[in-house]
Structure 1
Amino acid sequence: MNWTDEELIAGCKRKSAKYEEVFYKKYYGYVMGISLSYSKDRSLADEIVNDSFMKFFGSVHKVEDFQSVKSWLRRITVNTAIDYFRKQRKYQNQTDISEEREVGHEVHALNDLAFQDIVNLINQLQDDHKMVFNLYEIEGYSHKEIADKLGLSESSSRVYLTRAKTHLRQLVSKHLNEYEGR
């Protein structure tokens, strides 16, 4: 059966397992795609997906605008990924980083890369750099918002983004050189 989001939400508000299952299946790929962009391994992404849906179903009674279901689910998923990042960071020794200059050159070769190539290259970034890169470049957060969410200073957020971009440029260049050498 093809239910609208409005029907699915109404069923989820009644805590109907059938409606929750259909909603889960409908949006699983969407939520998994977001989760994979914030985690390096599939098992962590699975945890983020499941926790995101649990949070969504736990707060579904607040949903009123059915046009914003997808954006609300995205926000929950990104915040869940941030929560996992913070948990992992607790066990790492993180120190504040001084400001660095941004590298001026750019690789203009993204048109030559397939989407999966780009995802694979981003996944090679250090976890904290990847998190800042995604939050800034994909989600559109400011450095202040990132710093608040991740418990960093704004300058650390800027440095992590600079390092992520620098490393990504190197990875893209290396990837393209390997591709041309085939």
Structure 2
Amino acid sequence: MTTSFNPEGAVNTDTATFGTGCFWCTEAVFEQLEGVLKVTSGYSGGHVKNPTYEQVCEKNTGHAEVVQLVYDPAVISFDELLEVFWQTHDPTTLNRQGNDVGPQYRSAIFYKDEEQKLKAEHYKKELDKAGAFNAPIVTEISPLINFYAAEQYHQDYYTNNGSQPYCNFVIRPKMEKFQKAFKEKLKR
């Protein structure tokens, strides 16, 4: 756990890194959760240093589009973040989320420590065992080796571009479904 200082005093924070397809959708969801202090869209899991969006879209850098969350574990736990992760995308499609196709759109959890790894693996196993989805879960669970923030125009994309067609037809319906399912966890 890391400790950061804010104007109100010291707050313990932690980080989590998730890939659920397009990072614009993922960012919009996690930004609404109480206890999530910062969401940064970026790239993880690849072999190219400081990749650009164009390079990642070429599908040969190995990176996934991800969000890295800074959160207050006294307000929201990693387990609760995992619950949102599993319920806000399809973890059974390999290298795809809806119409977004390619390895950069894979379902992934990049764990920072053994505790995150064990929890991610446990939930994946239990969800598969319970038949929570119509197909086996293909979510990648890998150590966080690198994280590169995406270009500035990708940050807060839904907030800054809500009238764009992609936001209206893809992100907005996902947000409405998320808000109904997790209304008790939303920022007030």
Common fold: TM-score over 0.5: no
Answer 1 or 2: higher relative contact order, Cα 8 Å, separation at least 6.
2
Q: Please give the TM-score of this superposition, normalised by the length of structure 1.
A: 0.31
Greater fraction strand: 2
TM-score by length of 2: 0.31
Structure having the larger proportion of residues in helix: 1
Whichever of the two has the greater Rg, that structure is 1
